[in-house]
């Protein structure tokens, strides 16, 4: 079955469902996840701040130790800053999702807020998927390279 037909069949099934019951069911599941979104969002933001603090510490250590240490700093600091930005984005998306879920609980018409919560989660999961795929490819390449080097030296 093609993706288009699958999407059309899902649309037809959703159209036949009671919209209020659907929103209530989705909403109740999202409410159950709100606390974990908030906790993980806060932990990601704290991790981002700690990564930036570690970067500042690396710079100070590199400056104090001289040119050899500065080479390591020049490699490590950009990676830490990139990681901090990634963690900050992911944490902000989860906190935004939790906020929209909380807003939906108090709303007379929660469908819009629930959809926004899901949009924030979609960004979160898309970023996690891309980063995980890149990390997998990187470690696979390193493993293959290491294996080839070991085989060549044998």
Q: Is residue 2 pLDDT above 80, yes or no? A: no
Compute the C-alpha angle 130/136/139, nearest 5°: 140
pLDDT at position 7, please? 66
Whether 132 shows a pLDDT value over 70: the answer reads yes
Enter the DSSP assignment of 110.
Answer: T
Q: Are 91 and 50 in contact (CB under 8 A)?
A: no
pLDDT for residue 105 is more than 70: yes
pLDDT digits (tens, 9 = 90+) for 57-101: 988 888 888 777 788 788 889 999 999 999 999 999 999 999 999
Global pTM reads 0.76
Domain ranges, ordered by start, for the chain? 31-153
Judge whether residue 27 has pLDDT over 70: yes
Could you tell me which residue, 89 or 21, shows the higher pLDDT? Answer: 89
């Amino acid at each position: 079955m093609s993706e288009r037909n699958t999407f059309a069949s899902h649309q037809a099934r959703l159209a036949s469902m009671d919209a209020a019951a659907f929103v209530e069911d989705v909403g109740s599941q999202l409410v159950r996840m709100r606390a974990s979104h908030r906790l993980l969002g806060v932990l990601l933001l704290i991790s981002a701040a700690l990564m930036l603090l570690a970067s500042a510490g690396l710079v100070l250590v590199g400056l104090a130790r001289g040119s050899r240490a500065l080479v390591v700093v020049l490699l490590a600091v950009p990676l830490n800053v990139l990681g901090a930005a990634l963690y900050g984005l992911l944490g902000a998306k989860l906190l935004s999702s939790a906020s929209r879920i909380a807003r939906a609980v108090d709303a007379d018409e929660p469908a819009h807020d629930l959809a926004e919560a899901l949009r924030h989660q979609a960004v979160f999961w898309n970023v996690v998927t891309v980063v995980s795929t890149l990390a997998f490819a990187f470690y696979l390449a390193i493993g293959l390279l290491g294996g080839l080097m070991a085989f060549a030296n044998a």
